[in-house]
Amino acid sequence: MIITRIETLRLTERPNLIWVLVHTDEGLTGLGETYFGAVAVEADIHERIAPLILGEDAGSIERLHAAMRPYVGFCGTGAEMRALSAVDVALWDLAGQAAGKPVYTLLGGPVRKSIKVYNTCAGPDYVSQTADVRPGNFGLDTVEPKQGTIYQDLYAFMNHPADLAAELLEMGISSMKIWPFDFAEGVGDGMDISAGDLARALQPFEAIREAHGDRMDIKAELHGLWSLPAAKKIAAALDEIEPDWIEDPIWMDRIDLLPDLGGGTLSPIAGGETLGGIGQLSALIQSGGVSVPIMDVTWGGGVTVAKKAAVLAQAHGLPIAFHDCSGPVTLSASTHLALACPNVAEQEMTRGFYYGWYHELVDQPAPIDNGMISAPDLPGLGLKLHDNLKSRPDAVLRVSQPG
């Protein structure tokens, strides 16, 4: 199964998303995806990766993964690692198609048929124009409470948190993640948070707890915006809420600070989606500072690294979680891993994306029913881009092939 052509596709309507299609001489095409810096990823795929893998056997995933690993940008989640991740996902999709089996079967087979989801409470336009994860890019400037099945969950958790939780519970979703601390005044430099801002940011958590008790699991996202002293203050205040976890309370490359932070709170610490490569993920897991390491499959090294990270976490008695707040292929690849890895408890999803626009891009996102997500019993990842995407006026298609 020789790689004969590599295509990338991006849409100016969704400028953070990019897909890679790896074509072979057997007529099979693998689909990969990544998010943020789409133009830089596109350049790296065509200028660095394509010459390395064109003409090679697509089934030699480990060998190709090693060949695609760059000298600069070999860790973290920069453009090189995200480009590698997208191609790696496409190679696993190809491997499943060639074998006539779902990817989860190639990963050792499913340990469960479906897994619980938690809802990251973003709206459909959250972080949709640039890679800046700050309120100005949260998609709130055009918010209307709800239009059909386009869920404005970020607006809702800031303004009607108990109602949002009730709506999720009605859908069978009993776990949610919110980030009201991002709106605090002190978030500019992250050095400290005032008593007033702390109290305001706690209000959505308190409202959900008061209305629904422990029926709803609540995760607190801090986006790595805080200094260690400020993060300790926030974590101590959240202890009363008994959150499921506190995610990325500091920049997660400061791995040496995590045990100090975790020792000052009763709440589990989670994080790691901005780390990439098995070395960084291993250091995070071995630090003892996180209860739940998180990896983004299409940022941190693809399925190849994600499976190894899951095994490392399992060896340390830890669960692992796979991040998704980006695109439908990422969710699909993450779900295959979640079904195959015994130490995954939940799979992240963003219903504002899933019901808002995922179906406009692919034929069938990973199925969700009554708060549970599964993968179709189809070869590979089990989803395809819609045929009309390449012909859209806002489509940017680039092709690399021999000669």
Q: What is the pLDDT of residues 297-336, one digit of tens each?
A: 999 999 999 999 999 999 999 999 999 999 999 999 999 9
- Distance from C-alpha of 147 to C-alpha of 151, rounded to nearest angstrom: 7
Pair 179, 249 in one domain = yes
Q: What is the pLDDT of residues 332-387, one digit of tens each?
A: 999 999 999 999 999 999 999 999 999 999 999 999 999 999 999 999 999 999 99
Residues 6+ apart with CB under 8 A from 141: none
Please provide the DSSP assignment of 24-65 as one string: ETTS-EEEEEEES-HHHHHHHIIIIIHHHHTTSBTT-HHHHH
Pair 39, 122 in one domain = no
Q: Of 128-132, 167-171, 290-294, 334-338, which gets the smallest average pLDDT?
A: 128-132
Crossing angle between the packed helical segments 195-212 and 161-170, to the nearest 10 degrees? 40
pLDDT of residue 129: 81
- Distance from C-alpha of 80 to C-alpha of 84, rounded to nearest angstrom: 6
- Give me the residues paired with residue 34 across strands: 18
Q: How many CB atoms sit inside 10 A of residue 402's CB?
A: 10
Phi and psi (nearest 5°) for 141? -75, -20
Pair 96, 109 in one domain = no
386: helix, coil or strand? Answer: coil
| Cα-to-chain-centroid distance, residue 121 | 13
Quick check: 145 pLDDT over 60? no
Torsion angle in degrees (nearest 10) through CA of 300, 306, 308, 312? 90
Q: Is residue 155 part of a domain?
A: yes
pLDDT of residue 134: 82
Amino acid at 18: I
218: helix, coil or strand? Answer: strand
Angle among Cα 194, 195, 201 to the nearest 5 degrees reads 90
Pair 396, 365 in one domain = no
Band (137; pLDDT cuts 50, 70, 90)? confident
CATH classification at residue 354: 3.20.20.120
- Distance from C-alpha of 339 to C-alpha of 183, rounded to nearest angstrom: 35
Quick check: 149 pLDDT over 70? no
pLDDT of residue 148: 53
Across the chain, what does the average pLDDT equal? 95
Which tokens go with 198? 């702390």
Pair 157, 78 in one domain = no
The total number of structural domains in the chain stands at 2
Band (143; pLDDT cuts 50, 70, 90)? low
Task: Please tell me the pTM assigned to this model.
Answer: 0.96
Pair 268, 322 in one domain = yes
Distances (CA, A) of 52 to 32, 65, 148, 397: 17, 10, 46, 20
Report, as an integer, the average pLDDT of 219-229.
Answer: 97
Higher pLDDT, 156 or 133: 156
Q: Is residue 271 part of a domain?
A: yes
Pair 116, 238 in one domain = yes
Q: Is residue 214 part of a domain?
A: yes
Q: What is the pLDDT of residues 79-127, one digit of tens each?
A: 999 999 999 999 999 999 999 999 999 999 999 999 999 999 999 999 8
CA-based nearest residue to 344, from 368, 373, 366: 373
Report, as an integer, the average pLDDT of 63-92.
Answer: 96
Q: How many CB atoms sit inside 10 A of residue 294's CB?
A: 25
Pair 323, 342 in one domain = yes
Q: What is the pLDDT of residues 202-222, one digit of tens each?
A: 999 999 999 999 999 999 999
Pair 150, 48 in one domain = no
Pair 244, 298 in one domain = yes
- The two most distant CA atoms of the chain are separated, in Å, by 65
| Alpha helix ranges (H) inside 100-214 | 103-106, 153-159, 161-170, 195-212
Quick check: 147 pLDDT over 60? no
Pair 264, 178 in one domain = yes
Pair 303, 396 in one domain = no
- Distance from C-alpha of 320 to C-alpha of 342, rounded to nearest angstrom: 9
Higher pLDDT, 328 or 147: 328
Quick check: 41 pLDDT over 60? yes
Q: Is residue 130 part of a domain?
A: yes
Amino acid at 144: E
Q: Is residue 378 part of a domain?
A: no
Q: How would you label 246-258 residue by residue, b for 16+ Cβ within 10 Å and e otherwise?
A: bbbbbbbbebebb
Domain membership of residue 66 as a residue range:
3-101+384-400
CATH classification at residue 51: 3.30.390.10
Q: Is residue 194 part of a domain?
A: yes
